[in-house]
Amino acid sequence: MKQFLLRDTLIYLDDNSFNSINKWMSLNHFDNKFIIADENTSIHCLPVLLKHVPLLKDSFIIKMSSGESAKSIAQVEAICSCLINKNIDRQSLIVNLGGGVVCDLGGFVASIIKRGVKFINIPTTLMSQIDAAIGGKVAVNFQDYKNQIGLFVDPQIVFVYTPFLLSLSHDDLLSAQAEIFKYGLIYDRLLWEQCRLESSNKIMNFKNMISDCIKIKIKIVESDYYDYQGRRMLNFGHSICHAIESVFLSTKKQPVSHGFALSVGLICETYISYKKFKFSSKKLSIIVNTILSVFPKINLVKALDNLVLKYLKSDKKNKNRLYNFTLIKDIGVAVVNCSVSDIHIINSLDYYRKKCQT
Q: Return the number of the residue (53 or 240) whose C-beta is nearest ligand GLY.
A: 240
Q: Could you tell me how far CA 191 lies from the centroid of its own chain?
A: 18
Q: Return the number of the residue (117 or 233) whose C-beta is nearest ligand GLY.
A: 233
Give the span between the Cα atoms of 118 and 105, in whole angstroms: 14
Q: Return the number of the residue (33 or 68) whose C-beta is nearest ligand GLY.
A: 68
In whole angstroms, the minimum distance from the beta carbon of 270 to ligand GLY comes to 18
In whole angstroms, the minimum distance from the beta carbon of 185 to ligand GLY comes to 14
Give the span between the Cα atoms of 350 and 358, in whole angstroms: 13
In whole angstroms, the minimum distance from the beta carbon of 134 to ligand GLY comes to 7
In whole angstroms, the minimum distance from the beta carbon of 235 to ligand GLY comes to 7
Residues in the chain: 358
Q: Return the number of the residue (59 or 175) whose C-beta is nearest ligand GLY.
A: 175
Q: Return the number of the residue (33 or 232) whose C-beta is nearest ligand GLY.
A: 232
Q: Could you tell me how far CA 81 lies from the centroid of its own chain?
A: 27
Torsion sign (Cα): 356, 309, 152, 100 = negative
Three-class secondary structure assignment of 50-77: HHHCHHHCCCEEEEECCCHHHCCHHHHH
Residues that bind ligand GLY (CB under 6 A): 131, 135, 137, 227, 231, 234
Give the span between the Cα atoms of 183 and 179, in whole angstroms: 6
Q: Return the number of the residue (49 or 107) whose C-beta is nearest ligand GLY.
A: 107
Q: What angle do CA 7, 265, 137 make, to 5 degrees?
A: 20
Q: Return the number of the residue (147 or 347) whose C-beta is nearest ligand GLY.
A: 147
In whole angstroms, the minimum distance from the beta carbon of 244 to ligand GLY comes to 16
In whole angstroms, the minimum distance from the beta carbon of 231 to ligand GLY comes to 5
Q: Could you tell me how far CA 77 lies from the centroid of its own chain?
A: 23
Give the span between the Cα atoms of 235 and 138, in whole angstroms: 16
In whole angstroms, the minimum distance from the beta carbon of 174 to ligand GLY comes to 18
Give the span between the Cα atoms of 218 and 357, in whole angstroms: 38
* 192 sits in which H/E element: helix 189-200
In whole angstroms, the minimum distance from the beta carbon of 241 to ligand GLY comes to 11
123: left (phi over 0), alpha (psi -120 to 50) or beta: beta
Q: Could you tell me how far CA 224 lies from the centroid of its own chain?
A: 18
Q: Return the number of the residue (217 or 344) whose C-beta is nearest ligand GLY.
A: 217
69: left (phi over 0), alpha (psi -120 to 50) or beta: alpha
In whole angstroms, the minimum distance from the beta carbon of 221 to ligand GLY comes to 7
In three-state secondary structure terms, 14 is strand
Q: Return the number of the residue (110 or 237) whose C-beta is nearest ligand GLY.
A: 237
